[in-house]
Structure 1
Amino acid sequence: MSDLPFGFGMPDRDPERRDQPGSNPADPFGLGALFGSGGPGGGAPEELLGKMPLFAELQKLMNWSGGPVNWDLARQGAISALATGTQPTSEAERAAVAEALRLADLWLDQATDLPSGVERTLAWSRVEWVEQTLPAWSALIDPLAEKVVAAMTSALPQEAMAMAGPLAGIMGRMGGLMFGAQVGQAFGRLAGEILTGTEVGLPLAPAGAGALVPQNVAAFAEGLDRPADEVRLFLALREAASLRLFAHVPWLRQQLHDAVHAYARGITIDREAIERGLNDAMGSMGGGFDPSNPESIQELLGSGLLEPEETPEQQMALRRLETLLALVEGWVDAVVADAAGERLPGHGALAETMRRRRASGGPAEQTFATLVGLQLRPRRLRDAATVWGAMAQRYGTAERDRLWSHPDLLPTSEDLDEPMDFVARQGVDDELRQLSADDAGPRTPETPGDDTDEGPDGPDGDAAAR
């Protein structure tokens, strides 16, 4: 996989910027690396005391015990990356978002039988997006991270496993830090361009909340040659449509999570390959692997030796995830097109802009490529949109939306290869169901005492007895 899942690979470190203990006579313990020019021998004691909270923060990070991802570090990293580029949301922006979502829901009432899923509206700043979506991300990412750490630990050499007790704690803390740092970087990038609460393919806002990020919406609208309120309404239509689907198809969110977690369950690392390549890795580490040394563990983790191999079961889970995401996105495309109709003059241009955004790697594509190595193909999205559009045109919106009543009714990945064949089969299936119903004939309701059994206790039996 070109994009490794969260936790693989270490950030580049420049040894020239790292003070070595004992290399500076004025700083024999290498404290300059922590204190900068204010280390021992340089700076007043008051300056050093002013920097002491750094130790508390480091201790807090290393003592994280809240799960396989250090979410405190992830949050801090994402917000730090946004510190100079985020703006608070104004009252006018909140009112504009609320009005856009209200109007979008009215239009969607005529395009789908699924009722509204918007119970309240939110206009988030970039920082608010990070803070408010963390619970949803935690539920999705924690199982992946936990499996990766377990796989890496089990694949370590025998000499490392001999220290299983302390090593497990070191691996857990380091894994939490690694995942937290990488998730924080990813969140910082996403928060700078995410437009709505469902753009990554999953609802990240609290249940029933429709959310837009006005600062990013304004940046997206620049250069589109469309009025800002039109762009906002188009995005509100997409958000409101997505929420209808997730609110009234109760199994959908769980199916998406299950596909990601099915991929996680299949994460394994070839221990024999580790042992075969360990000598080479040790040579690049300067003479050996020391399981008691976090630096040595870091270098092993960053060597690429512990990268998992993708199994057939994982490939199946990825195909399922890709298909589900494409079906959700395609349905939203089709329903928004019906709702916008001639009401939104720029709909065609805006829809094409969204397609190009996805093709070039938008937030949804970036998220799943980084998370599970999924490359969401735009062709799948077009095929899914073709299915939903043709179903509505041929059978009506009610029959189109009926396919969401059970996961077995949805098109499979193979069905999306020939979308029109799938649509044609739906008509044949309907005819077969009708013929079966006709062959069964009308059923008359039973009345008390109406017993059709023959025999001594039945009608004929009674007559013979008399």
Structure 2
Amino acid sequence: MSDLPFGFGVPDRDPERRGESGGSGGSSGGGSGGGPAGNDPFGLGALFGAAGGAGGAGGPADLLGKMPLFAELQKLMNWSGGPVNWDLARQGAISQLAPGHQPTSAGERSAVTEALRLADLWLDQVTELPSGIDRGLAWSRVEWVEQTLPAWAALIDPLAERVVAAMTSALPAEAASIAGPLAGIMGQMGGVMFGAQVGQALARLADEVTTSTDVGLPLGPQGAGVLVPQNVAAFGAGLDRPEDEVRLFLALREAAHQRLFAHVPWLRQQLTDAVHAYARGIHVDREAIERSIQDAMGGMEGGLDPSDPESIQRLLGSGVLEPEETPEQQMALRRLETLLALVEGWVDSLVAAAAAERLPGHSALAETMRRRRASGGPAEQTFATLVGLELRPRRLRDASTVWGAMAQQHGTAARDRLWSHPDLLPTSDDLDEPLDFVARQGAADPFAELTDGLAEQAGDQPGDDAEDGDTPRG
């Protein structure tokens, strides 16, 4: 998951990463990674380089014919369903998963259903939020890809659209004239490129996820509790714990996630909106690009030769097209990071309360989960891939501290009541001092203060302005 499906990163957040774009993880060539280099954010260098490596800069048809991947997939070039070719993404992911595919058995399906049922019984005793599961499902890795594609499409399409728009609008006259021969098929090629890279990312993710909520978002059908038995077994490998114990631990996590997403109606949209808010901020400074191109051309050996694909590739790999992260994007990422940490922290706290004294291997299993996150688990990897966000373990620990202390000092009802409205949740600043936030909750009824404030606002601002009181905090 180290490759960026959309071909752009956030280099100013991690300056050291800018010097690693030529490494194996970000190669713009045709190796197994398949992702464009960090300094070629839109992957165009790979397209021009492939044509040049094949012996010349021909027209669009020649370009496609000389690229094996696209030559095999020309029939998908007529995709018109959006900025990402989801047919190709699905086929690519499934083809990568096929060698190790293990269909679920009747026994596994029964075991998953029973584990989720028991998990809900245990969770009933530690939270007032009711069950969010009306059926238990056991998915293979291939089924996980197929069943979660609609959720991924809703999340990813706006990002891809914005990347293409930023690329197109920011190209200066020199680069636009170079790309002219490809203008007629750039949209289709972008859909194929994104589809191939998203398919690769989903295949890698499907190798790891154990549930439908591992990435912090509800990706499965509403009301479905899901486990991936093949990955459940891999999660427990080497822990010397019984298989049913590992399954129950992961079922507790899935059931806890489902309760939250089923009974906090605004949460799903808030998470999605944070990702889309980042996408809306993607832009490239055209004037800065023009200046950089002039500087890059002046520093190139032999300058820029429009007839030489290698010259074009060097230009595109120089980093001149990297988008800058805006303050709005930083706010969106901070909000997303905080929300994901609060979700995961609440789940950790709930599972610990339900299982610590019932599940002998809870400590070992919880530690395995913590190590998985610290080394870059599915949630961290997915969002780092999509928007350059790395979910820091420190935020998760602080969020877990908030939820644990809330339950201990004010009770589980007060803890869960914070999910009643987004303005009641701790902010990123609150997570810096989690115990101070918890202490403040005992001073007054925050929900009463919030509703009183909204009522006053509605009275002071009649009409449409009254809706402003419902705007969540950033």
Structure-2-length-normalised TM-score? 0.79
Tell me the CA shift for residue 285 of structure 1: 10
Change over 3 Å in CA distance of 1:305–1:427 after alignment to 2: same
Choose which of 287, 294, 298 in structure 2 pairs with 1:272.
287
Tell me the CA shift for residue 168 of structure 1: 5.6
Paired amino acid for 1:309 = E
Per-residue CA distance 1:110-164 (angstroms, 9 max, x = gap) = 1111111011111111111111110000000100110010000011122555799
Paired amino acid for 2:158 = P
Paired amino acid for 2:269 = Q
Change over 3 Å in CA distance of 1:205–1:15 after alignment to 2: closer
1:195 maps to: 210
> Is 2:242 aligned against 1:227?
yes
2:466 maps to: none
Tell me the CA shift for residue 174 of structure 1: 2.4
1:363 maps to: 378
Choose which of 271, 288, 294 in structure 1 pairs with 2:305.
288
2:28 maps to: 11
Q: Secondary structure at the match of 2:443?
A: helix
Q: Is the 8 A contact 1:10 1:178 kept in 2?
A: no
Change over 3 Å in CA distance of 1:10–1:149 after alignment to 2: farther
> Is 2:171 aligned against 1:156?
yes
Q: Is the 8 A contact 1:118 1:243 kept in 2?
A: yes
Paired amino acid for 1:6 = F
Change over 3 Å in CA distance of 1:143–1:300 after alignment to 2: farther
1:326 maps to: 341
1:307 maps to: 322
Partners of 1:329 and 1:298 lie apart in 2 by 42
Question: Map of 1:60-209 to 2, 5 A cutoff?
Answer: 60-159=75-174, 169-209=184-224
Partners of 2:447 and 2:123 lie apart in 1 by 32
Change over 3 Å in CA distance of 1:156–1:296 after alignment to 2: farther
1:419 maps to: 434
Tell me the CA shift for residue 64 of structure 1: 1.5
C-alpha RMSD of matched pairs (Å): 3.3
Per-residue CA distance 1:255-307 (angstroms, 9 max, x = gap) = 000100110111011212221232465657984347xx999987765553322
Task: Indicate the structure (1 or 2) with the bigger Cα radius of gyration.
Answer: 1
User: Could you tell which deviates more after superposition, 276-285 or 63-72?
Assistant: 276-285
Partners of 2:168 and 2:202 lie apart in 1 by 27
Change over 3 Å in CA distance of 1:298–1:107 after alignment to 2: farther
Change over 3 Å in CA distance of 1:168–1:122 after alignment to 2: farther
Q: Is the 8 A contact 1:147 1:264 kept in 2?
A: yes
Task: Give the unaligned 5+ runs of structure 1.
Answer: 23-28, 37-53, 438-466
Tell me the CA shift for residue 373 of structure 1: 0.4
Q: Is the 8 A contact 1:161 1:167 kept in 2?
A: no
Partners of 1:96 and 1:419 lie apart in 2 by 38
Partners of 2:281 and 2:312 lie apart in 1 by 24
Change over 3 Å in CA distance of 1:144–1:35 after alignment to 2: closer
Q: Secondary structure at the match of 2:29?
A: coil
Task: Give the unaligned 5+ runs of structure 2.
Answer: 9-25, 31-48, 453-474
Identity, % of aligned pairs?
A: 78
Paired amino acid for 2:7 = G
Paired amino acid for 1:225 = D
Partners of 2:83 and 2:419 lie apart in 1 by 34
Partners of 1:88 and 1:99 lie apart in 2 by 19
Partners of 1:285 and 1:208 lie apart in 2 by 62
Q: Is the 8 A contact 2:296 2:315 kept in 1?
A: yes
Per-residue CA distance 1:164-201 (angstroms, 9 max, x = gap) = 99866533222212211221111111111111100000
Structure-1-length-normalised TM-score? 0.80
Q: Is the 8 A contact 1:149 1:171 kept in 2?
A: no
Paired amino acid for 1:69 = V
Partners of 2:301 and 2:388 lie apart in 1 by 28
Count of aligned pairs: 409
Choose which of 380, 384, 400 in structure 1 pairs with 2:399.
384
Tell me the CA shift for residue 341 of structure 1: 3.3
1:451 maps to: none
1:407 maps to: 422
Question: Map of 1:13-92 to 2, 5 A cutoff?
Answer: 13=30, 19-20=54-55, 58-92=73-107
Paired amino acid for 1:376 = L
Change over 3 Å in CA distance of 1:300–1:197 after alignment to 2: farther
Change over 3 Å in CA distance of 1:295–1:180 after alignment to 2: farther
Partners of 2:186 and 2:316 lie apart in 1 by 10
Change over 3 Å in CA distance of 1:401–1:172 after alignment to 2: same
Partners of 2:147 and 2:446 lie apart in 1 by 48
Partners of 2:117 and 2:424 lie apart in 1 by 31
